[in-house]
Structure 1
Amino acid sequence: MTFEMRSWRDWSAGDRVVVRRRLAGEEASGHRWTDVIGVVLAVDDSGLTLRPDTPRDGQDAAPVRVAADDVVSAKRVPPRPARRVSAARPGPAAGGPSAPPRG
């Protein structure tokens, strides 16, 4: 899969992207930028709306609106990799042997 450089204005809903956006005011708290990685929900002349990737804690993040003037850099990225299953010995739920009784 090729991920050519295109303007974020050419993106379509469903593209997975990373956007560096400018922070302002209280949101900045000493930082100038932040990155948002996720899936494009909408694009228009005034900016774009992203559904951020689900954090590892499993809580869904609210959609993020990025104003056109706040986009510092942006690019398409590959699909998020599938979660890896632990290499630990499988338990009974995975068809493996159950643990020996204690005591």
Structure 2
Amino acid sequence: MKREEKIEMIQEIIEKKDPYIGLYAELLLSMGDMKLNYRDYMITEPINCFEELKRVFNADYDLCAALLTMVLREDHFSCGSFKQRFAAGQVLLILKRMRDILSMK
């Protein structure tokens, strides 16, 4: 998938401001960016989502994809956490970082 297509898809999701978790999983899958090995990108053990999300500001694109995957997986184990992270602005922060990185290339 071309960089411009990814930017457009990410921007569309950002503008929706919809907390439905399926949109974000589908976005990563359709772009080929779901990081099933997201644990390989994390620096805490066991994974501490709060600490990992502090890395967004300096993250590269792959780390952002891993962080978003982490948030999706966290909801699987702690139902409702995705909506809380969305309400706190953490999900859109990751997407905006992804968009901005792609825009810089």
TM-score by length of 1: 0.26
Structure showing greater relative contact order (alpha-carbon pairs closer than 8 Å, 6 or more residues apart): 2
Q: If each structure's strand is expressed as a fraction of its own residues, which one has the higher value?
A: 1
TM-score by length of 2: 0.26
Q: Higher Cα Rg: structure 1 or 2? A: 1
Q: If each structure's helix is expressed as a fraction of its own residues, which one has the higher value?
A: 2
